[in-house]
Amino acid sequence: MKNLIMAFLVMLTVVSFVVLPSTECMSMDKRSSSSGGALNLAADFKLRDINNIEVSLNDYKGKQPVLLFFWTTWCPYCVAELSGLNSKYLELKENGCDLLAINVGESADKVSRYVKKYNPFFKVLLDTDKSVSSSFEILGVPTYILLNKKGEIVLQGHGFPNDYKSLIPE
């Protein structure tokens, strides 16, 4: 009987700390106010991509909106998102928006080997020291952050923003 109670408590603990927070995080979505309130300006960053080319967020400022996708190779939700991003990227490009997939905390070799199976059309950047994800206060992955042409954050959430066009008007 004691073992049964102990097993139940362990199971309850796992469910409360693993399953429930994941579900809550996946539904979290912060959108900008459409009432004209001030938006937060995204801090510039410079990261290397998987081809060792430096990419700066400021290169996009004033030119086009950008969707940032923070992810890891070990996250099953990230894998699901990553597998469908090529087709979504083509749609984003058609609508004047670029996509930067930012891997959080993993080595260039590991990420390069991993993304080969997806053959991404978009840039895959490496935040090996997690400084960029920390500056954006990323609490879990996957996380999407949509920036308008001015570099202002208009959305932050855990799912692809299907309504992105309405959030970044010309």
Three-point CA angle 89, 91, 92, nearest 5°: 60
CA distance 103 to 72: 5
87 burial type by CB count under 10 A (0-12 exposed, 13-18 middle, 19+ buried): exposed
- Percentages (nearest 5) of helix, strand, coil residues in the chain: 40, 25, 40
Residues 118 and 67 in one domain: yes
Report if residue 36 sits inside a domain. no
Residues 1 and 77 in one domain: no
Report if residue 34 sits inside a domain. no
132 burial type by CB count under 10 A (0-12 exposed, 13-18 middle, 19+ buried): buried
CATH label of the domain that carries residue 68:
3.40.30.10
Neighbours of 108 (CB within 10 A): 16
Residues 115 and 71 in one domain: yes
Report if residue 35 sits inside a domain. no
The confidence score (pLDDT) of residue 38 equals: 67
168 burial type by CB count under 10 A (0-12 exposed, 13-18 middle, 19+ buried): buried
Give the domain range for residue 108.
42-167
Contact between residue 80 and residue 92 where contact means Cβ atoms under 8 Å apart: no
CA distance 128 to 47: 9
Three-point CA angle 62, 65, 68, nearest 5°: 125
Structurally, how many domains does the chain consist of? Answer: 2
pLDDT digits (tens, 9 = 90+) for 94-145: 999 999 999 999 999 999 999 998 999 999 999 999 999 999 999 999 999 9
Beta strands in the chain (DSSP E): 29-31, 46-49, 54-56, 66-71, 98-104, 123-127, 143-147, 153-157
pLDDT digits (tens, 9 = 90+) for 4-43: 555 544 454 433 333 333 333 333 455 554 445 568 999 9
Give this prediction's pTM.
Answer: 0.80
User: Which band of pLDDT confidence, cut at 50, 70 and 90, is reported for residue 169?
Assistant: confident
Q: Which of 140, 152, 170 is nearest to 33 (CA)?
A: 152
